[in-house]
Structure 1
Amino acid sequence: MERRLTAILSADVVGYSRLMGEDEVGTLERLKACRRKLIDPAIDAFHGRIIKLMGDGALVEFASVVDAVQCAAVIQRKMASQGQGVTAAQRIQFRIGINLGDIIVEGDDIYGDGVNIAARLQGIAQPGGICISGTAFDQVVHKADVGFSALGEQHLKNIADPVRVYRVLLDDSKAGKVVTAARTQSRRAIIIVASLAALLIAITAIVFAWQRPLAPQRPSIAVLPFANLSGDPAQDYFSDGITDNLITDLARLSDLEVIARNSVFTYKGKPLVLADIERDLGVGFVVEGSVQRTGDHIRVNAQLIDATSGDHLWANRFDRGAADVFAIQDEMSRQIADALGVELTQSETVRISRPPTANLEAYDYYLRAEQAARTGRPSRMLEALALFEKAETLDPRFAEAFAADARATTYVWRSTFDNVLPSALARKRAYDKASRALALDPDLSSPYAVLAVIQVVERRYEEAIASARQAASLRPADAEGQMTAAYVQLFSGNHAEAAAAVEMALKYDPNPSAIDRFTAGLISFLQRDYATAIENFERARDGSPGNGYFVTPLAMAYVRVGRLDDARTAVAEGVRLLGGRESLAGWRLSFSHFRNEQDLTSILAALRDAGMPEWPFGFRGDEHDRLNGGDIASTVMGKLLKGKTKPSGSPALMQIGRDGKAVYRSATQMTIETVFIRGDTLCEQSEEIFFGRADCGPVYKRKSSPGEAAFAYVNSRKVFYFSPVK
């Protein structure tokens, strides 16, 4: 791992989502022209190295901080001159932040607080402006043709210590000058005193306001779960739905940063402690409220609170009939935005005022389905899919219901819950529902995320990356979409891009789900950042207690930092929780869609070193008794195999035709499949299970007594002791 001191420039496009929403093609063309004619030449001229480009920004490294500031000044001055004659709605502006700091170098990418501080400085810069850190200022002052205004120490989001911040002054008359915040305030105070000589109290308040740390341009907000005051816990789904929809509506506003559902719902049922929420989620504002539904009447109370001061900035109570539920949500979103000083664009206004459905019964089924689906439990997933179907039947134009159905079905497919829905049917349903959702509403992002997951599991990597990028372009601030991009880039072999997507997701979801922590852990592991991998895997385990799928991954990271005893304990616990099914064969099959074979090899090697068994249920065969491919074919092809499965000992039959067409039956399963020989293994393949992948394993001759099974066959999911029946 390499460390070095370097200058980092972080830039993003102001109001990118709004620009894309109002004129996607035109915005992209103007951005391409800006980069081709202005940005790339400026970076080249000042010897910068582009680390990464996103749809709405860039990260650039410079060996010299003077070059970084000069480059930023050239870009912002030329952008200002190019903006003349362009309507305000079409004008492209950048915010730029620059830091001089220590970074971690991994391949072609860079990480660490040095990068994070640059990104936070960019976030508090004015449109068309530049903010730099104190470390950068100390090196560049009087060496660049710009001036500086000292903003004092700022508390930047998710940065532990305050950072000295300076605003770059681009006016030629300010070149070489350093203006302190105190002097600026004094001049403004004189003007106010002259104008309002008798209002000393007002002047004092204004001076106090100027002395407060500069707030980010885009307010950050957390919508806490609304309390259910109906007296019936079964009504939780409705109050949760009000919360979800408010989060969704506010997240559609380009000038707001909204924390994702997963993180805020960890506070459900807990007392409101603003200091904890501000610290843990890094937000400036909090919305809390309650919902009471009685018959056809709804009462919603909501309030907006400043997380730092505790001041109540807005509050309202809505007493309406049940038919007005969408109007209530629309009014809440507008009033909260207004209280925060956020102006809605025309497209944003239209979007949040559009009800998802006109059928209240369909909406009720949809909310119930979402509550069931979010548990992730197989039994509740089956319930969720049935409820989504009811909502879709009642309103065939309910786009959000089809999109949520596709997301839930993809979870079933990806988790190989074949007892909920066989693999082939789950894949078809997810694809069909996502396609239907997009046909009804092309602006939905989640169906593209669904398609991206399906495509990467099927090894259609370029298609998957394109779908993930489309999802991100429609909802750049969507944590779920960013984690989908991370998953896609991980299995496509693009580890740096995957890590960047995780970082973006954590901005909006500081406490992601166990499955997202697992994905983040795999990315860190493959980047050899084992400490971060352990942190993510441990949080995944703690976030889903008793789930063996999130216990075993710890073993691979523990091994790589020399914690062998902990690694073996993790494997043993995972095997126990999963009833003995955990094995290297299972990992090999489940994750065979890694584009880079070395990635899977690295994971399997670590798990093997941790003591994970090769086969499920503790099976071990003697290699002296193993059959070769020819012997396997003569033993099983065209035969009826009768025996028992381990560990249950329940009877099982496998009827195999000479053409390989087969049926496997046990007390709990019947599968129509194809059987064939690959090398010295027997393979089963069915569209109904494991994404249609071939599950292969060895066959052993047993030293058995009369009446006992003569052979043993093992693969990733079963041990079958059998004898051919004549």
Structure 2
Amino acid sequence: MIFSDTKTFVTGDRVERRLAAILVADVAGYSRLMHTSEEATHARVTALLTNTVLPAISGHGGRVIKSTGDGFLAEFPSAVDAVRAAMQFQGGVYKLAIPDAPDERILFRVGIHIGDIIVGTQDIFGDGVNIAARLEGIAEPGGICLSSSVFDQVHGKIGIEFADLGARDLKNIARPIRAYAVVPDGSSATTPNGGVMPAPLSAPRFSIVVLPFVNIGDDPEQEYFVDGVIESLTTDLSRIYGSFVIARNTAFAFKGKSPDVRQIGRELNVRYVLEGSVQRNGNRLRINVQLIDAETGNHLWAERFDKPLADFFDMQDEIVSRLANALDAQLIEAEARRAGRSPHPDAMDLYFQGRAYWNKGMTPEYLTQAMDFFERALALDAGHVDAMVGWATVVASIAGSFASDDRAAQLAAAETTLTKVLSMAPRHAWAHLTLGAVQMFTNRAAQGIGECERALTLDHNLADAHACIGMGKYFAGRAEETEAHILEALRLSPRDVHAYRWMQFVGIAKAQLGADIEAVSWLRRSIEANRNFPLAHFHLAEALALLGQLDEARAAAKAGLALQPDFTLRRYRMNALSDNPAYLAGRARSAEGMRLAGVPEG
């Protein structure tokens, strides 16, 4: 919701400007509600604005600048007053919504920012207004989202807690904005007028608190290490696009306590809790972690790290990277399961389901399912950057794995989409990574490696970027360098859902170097990690055939064709991904091995 449609007020030759607290609110799911019951929805929204919202705004010194039917723009002289007004009317609106069925509830999203505004005759303008509108867009239904400039003014002055959402790339806003969400204190929060505002109806998606790990032992150095892991992990999880991570200071309030995780979920309004313990046993350090559903108390995932003692800082970095990568995949799977139960999935629900299918493997079936969910998400929200990146990733993967005859057009479409994403969200690490892959698939390996390196500067845990660099090296005729990059990716995320692709990269690189025995070893590891990747079977068939093991080679080719029946040598030969001589020579050798293994000419 961007407000910019009336004339600017000019005093003489001077444009009038002033600093103000700007509040933007919008009804969540307004189009769906209007489609279901147009007149009733209009009447209910009008009653809420008249009886609940406007009195709270005027009572705290604010004024409504304009109404948009499903929302409004308001101005306050004070950030504290703006937040207090929002707390008051959000609490009132929530109470009125409780008796309604979940899909019939009318709830507002609110964004608040302090900015220098241009004053019009009947409107206000400026970047500050646009930022408030974008903050409203990332707030949850019933929630309030603040910029850091507002947080700095209200923190410690209002009896409420805030969750640090990290730096966010907001649509059409040039720089990342650090955002905060209002979190109820306990199961309810007190409004400025003494009323009670219950906790929001549902915790934000991808929301998690990392509790202090239990230190089993009395070694103070180990205690510092444990606290460092939690602090770094909290920071790194907040870099996951779309995540909602409770700030470290709030999480550390639970140190030394053993509260019920469901109570923590209600108090902090999060869906997931990560807890764990650290124990030193001689020269080894053992860390156990559990991811828990805060609504049910059910354990969703558990992991153990058992490592020899080394430099504590190196160990901390490695453990945090492994946890962040594993949690990213586990949280996506959990959110996809929730979304699958939703009777009215929104764009984010559909995005999570698309990511879950993408994580399963690269069979035509899974890729089609992932594409379908991403396209459905974009049909609901054409500017959903994560769904745009997901769509481009699937398109590039189909083209890059020789599953299409329209490869050039597909890769061009993916690049156009990714370029658009990066114009809106320039710090989107996954978008940089996918753009790098597209460039590698279009004979621009050096440029693609550079994009992957940019992705790593934005998210140093992005193991897939290390692997993609390894892929780019054999496109560039430097296959001897590929293995080191894959080993680094596996160090950061040894059980990654995409590790099967990385292992295949090494297998192809080894085959390019004529090291067929090593190629077979890596390609078999790839297939063991995920049997649903056709290209790994075809390259295994090639390497086995070149070693003279024709029966096993034919069996591997048959397994690949069962997954991708339309794969042919004609398509493989026609779609070289680089013009590097070493790459082309290795590719010719690869095609000969596939021919010997019985891959059809087509």
User: What's the TM-score, normalizing by structure 1?
Assistant: 0.36
Compare CA radii of gyration and give the structure with the larger one. 1
Q: Name the one with the larger helix percent.
A: 2
Question: Of the two structures, which has the highest relative contact order with CA contacts closer than 8 Å and spacing of 6 or more?
Answer: 2
User: What's the TM-score, normalizing by structure 2?
Assistant: 0.43
